[in-house]
């Protein structure tokens, strides 16, 4: 349990803290890029594991996946540009129930282009809603974005989006994660990892089948702030089942 909690803390701390002075610097390009993450530090050994995320979701196994039990309230209270993504930190009180456990929503963040692929298809933007249970076990709910109508939750968050990496800033009004989700909550499921160092495995992944829209301007604004793509390449599925 102590190890799970330690990994949870590492996953939920602003990623900039992991790349601060005296710690290992990682990124998405060059010598510190994804292909070298496992070599940068012994703490990143899991990045070369067999159950890594993201993946290309295909070769599905039919399963009776239970409907998601989502209880979200408006709780996005601060925003941070940590140099690796833009992250909205969430107040306690919102949760997702799965496998008889309650996972509290801790934060959500974004990758452009998408990290996961669905049947080989890439999307211009992907959101990751990160949840943790009382023992530090993680569940990530992933949602894909296509270009179209502006997204209300993004509009609220992007209005306060820091243009440079730095400390979290309070949002003027709390953002609701529900505004990020499609009406249909049908999903795929697989076991994977964090998609950034330390790439810890044992993460439950739920990828929503139906995308939502974001305007071209909203997607471009995120890309401009990141300065470069922030998606880890897809990893080998190996022997993992991808449930449909």
Helices (H), the chain: 2-12, 15-18, 37-40, 152-158, 216-226
Active site residue 228: no
Backbone angles phi, psi at 111, to 5 degrees: -135, 135
Calpha distance 196→84 (Å, rounded): 9
Sequence-distant (≥ 6) Cβ neighbours of residue 215 within 8 angstroms: 147, 148, 149, 150, 151
Distance CA 144, CA 115 (A): 10
38-59 residues labelled b (16+ CB within 10 A) or e (exposed): bebbeebebbeeebbbbbbbee
CB 208 within 8 A of CB 143: yes
Note whether 105 and 75 are within 8 A (CB). Answer: yes
Of the residues 84, 111, 128, 131, only one is catalytic, namely: 84
At 192, give phi and psi (nearest 5°).
Answer: -155, -140
Q: How many CB atoms lie within 10 A of CB 107?
A: 21
Pairing of strands 138-147, 125-132: antiparallel
Which residue numbers are catalytic? 84
């Amino acid at each position: 349990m102590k190890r799970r909690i330690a990994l949870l803390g590492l996953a939920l701390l602003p990623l900039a803290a992991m790349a601060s002075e005296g710690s290992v610097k990682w990124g998405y390009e060059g010598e510190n890029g994804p292909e070298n993450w496992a070599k940068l530090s012994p703490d990143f050994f899991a990045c070369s594991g067999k159950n890594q995320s993201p993946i290309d979701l295909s070769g599905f196994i039919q399963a009776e996946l239970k409907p998601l039990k989502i209880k979200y309230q408006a709780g996005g209270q601060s925003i941070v540009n940590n140099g690796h993504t833009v992250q909205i930190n969430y107040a306690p009180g919102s949760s997702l129930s799965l496998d008889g456990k309650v996972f509290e929503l801790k934060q959500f963040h974004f990758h452009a282009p998408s990290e996961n692929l669905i049947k080989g298809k890439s999307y211009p933007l992907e959101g990751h809603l990160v949840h943790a249970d009382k023992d530090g076990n993680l569940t990530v709910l992933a949602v894909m974005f296509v270009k179209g109508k502006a997204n209300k939750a993004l509009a609220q968050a992007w209005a306060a989006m820091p243009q440079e990496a730095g400390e979290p800033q309070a949002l003027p009004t709390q953002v609701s994660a529900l505004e990020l989700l499609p009406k249909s909550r049908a999903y795929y499921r697989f076991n994977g990892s964090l998609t950034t160092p330390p790439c810890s495995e044992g993460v439950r992944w739920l990828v929503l089948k139906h995308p939502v829209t974001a305007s071209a301007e909203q997607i471009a604004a995120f890309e401009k702030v990141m300065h470069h793509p922030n998606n880890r390449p897809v990893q080998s599925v190996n022997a993992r089942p991808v449930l449909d």
